[in-house]
DNA sequence: CCAGAATGTTTCTAACTTGAATGTTTCTAG
DNA sequence: CTAGAAACATTCAAGTTAGAAACATTCTGG
């Protein structure tokens, strides 16, 4: 009587737990690999997402974190000489983040480390594609 | 030339980002709903996972966090009179976590809040099932 | 042109999380 | 039995995160 069996909601809760569990596994994987390069997990994630010049806000979006946190992380990377904050070409409010030569090189090494022993290795390629489709549908368009 | 096109690895990286993005959405959803009840996200997650009496370590596993963090979170819930730390029936090293009457009541209200407006609402029931299958396969058995 | 709203970034604080070290209890091999 | 290894929980210190407040710049409607 206290629990009107609502299997729909229960399944959704379990699903939330699973998503979080996998995210944690991924985070831990990144932590260990990044540690081998003297980076924290957040720094590695930032480096991973730096596919090209971008703004602080864009990086924060890619990292799924708050802009204030991106500031904190980029501070560290800049201090290590891996990233530069340049003036944005068209918007003086914004900063243009650019990888230094050293940063680009470290990024390549990081990406190589991250691909081996991935937490997603348990899924076949077409399953990964299916997972990607589902996740993209679950996440509302920006 | 700097990037020998490795589409397989690139797709895996994108997937990691998507998993993390969804986990963040779920966390934010929990944060806001929990806030309405005077709980933090971690406290709400703990309450959500308290499906019955369990040990500290088991709760940590369900929350996908370290045991030391579970100690911290349960401290707060206990101080609010929502959970009790009792002696474990068979193992004197372990604690037996039990919801108080008040805790059980608040848990029901929380679960009701969490189900409405879920970040997973964008998926049809059979898609949620498919997602669950994929995640369970991706996460290695305990 | 101008005032106000909106946006990009940073600062600051409070809270959260991890990881290592510690104390207690249980298990196991000799 | 009993000594050492292993497991449960906690404490503590250090690092990470979100959120609100503040500053500078850009956008928009009058």
Interchain CB distance below 8 Å, A120 and B15:
yes
What is the C-alpha end-to-end distance of chain A, expressed in Å? 41
Task: Find, among B20, B44, B47, the residue nearest to B32 by Cα.
Answer: B44
Rounded Cα–Cα distance for residues A45 and B26 (Å): 19
Q: Which nucleotides of D are covered by protein (CB under 7 A)?
A: 7-12, 15-21, 24-27
Q: Which of 48-87 (B) contact A at CB < 8 A?
A: 48-49, 62, 64-65
Report the nucleotide nearest the CA of residue A68, measured to C1': C10
Could you tell me the pLDDT band of residue B1, with boundaries at 50, 70 and 90?
low
Rounded to whole angstroms, the distance from the CA of residue B43 to the C1' of nucleotide C17 is 13
Give domain limits for chain A.
Answer: 7-117
Residues of A in contact with B24 (CB under 8 A): 64-65
Helices (runs of H) and strands (runs of E) counted in chain A: 6, 2
Could you tell me the pLDDT band of residue A112, with boundaries at 50, 70 and 90?
very high
B/e letters for A68-92, b = 16+ CB within 10 Å, e = fewer, are eebeebbeebeeeebbbeeebeeee
Q: What residue is closest to D23 (Cα–C1')?
A: A93
Alpha carbon of B129: minimum distance to chain A alpha carbons (Å): 8
Residue with tokens 């939330």: A16
Read off the pLDDT of residues B70-94 as tens digits, 9 standing for 90 and up. 999 999 999 999 999 999 999 999 9
CA triple A73-B19-B123, angle to 5 deg = 140
Report pTM.
0.90
Read off the pLDDT of residues A37-68 as tens digits, 9 standing for 90 and up. 999 999 999 999 999 999 999 999 999 999 99
CATH architecture type of domain B7-117: Orthogonal Bundle (1.10)
Task: Find, among A34, A55, A62, A52, the residue nearest to B24 by Cα.
Answer: A62
Task: Find, among A82, A84, A97, the residue nearest to A44 by Cα.
Answer: A82
Read off the pLDDT of residues B16-42 as tens digits, 9 standing for 90 and up. 999 999 999 999 999 999 999 999 999
B89-98's contacts with Cβ under 8 Å and 24+ in sequence apart are B91/B55, B94/B55, B94/B56, B94/B57, B95/B55, B95/B56, B96/B53, B96/B54, B96/B55, B97/B50, B97/B53, B97/B54, B97/B55, B97/B56, B97/B59, B98/B53
Interchain CB distance below 8 Å, B24 and A64:
yes
Rounded Cα–Cα distance for residues B15 and B104 (Å): 37
The token pair that represents B21 in the structure block: 């993005």
């Amino acid at each position: 009587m206290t629990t009107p069996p609502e299997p729909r909601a229960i399944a959704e809760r379990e699903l939330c737990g699973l998503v979080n569990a996998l995210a944690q596994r991924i985070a831990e994987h990144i932590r260990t690999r990044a540690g081998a390069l003297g980076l924290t997990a957040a720094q590695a994630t930032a480096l991973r997402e730096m596919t090209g010049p971008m703004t602080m806000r864009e990086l924060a979006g890619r990292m799924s974190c708050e802009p204030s946190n991106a500031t904190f992380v980029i501070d560290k990377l800049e201090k290590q000489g891996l990233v530069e904050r340049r003036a944005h070409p068209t918007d003086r409010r914004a900063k243009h983040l650019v990888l230094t030569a050293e940063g680009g090189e470290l990024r390549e090494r990081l990406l190589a480390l991250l691909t081996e022993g991935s937490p997603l290795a348990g899924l076949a390629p077409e399953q990964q594609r299916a997972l990607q489709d589902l996740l993209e549908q679950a996440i509302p368009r920006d």
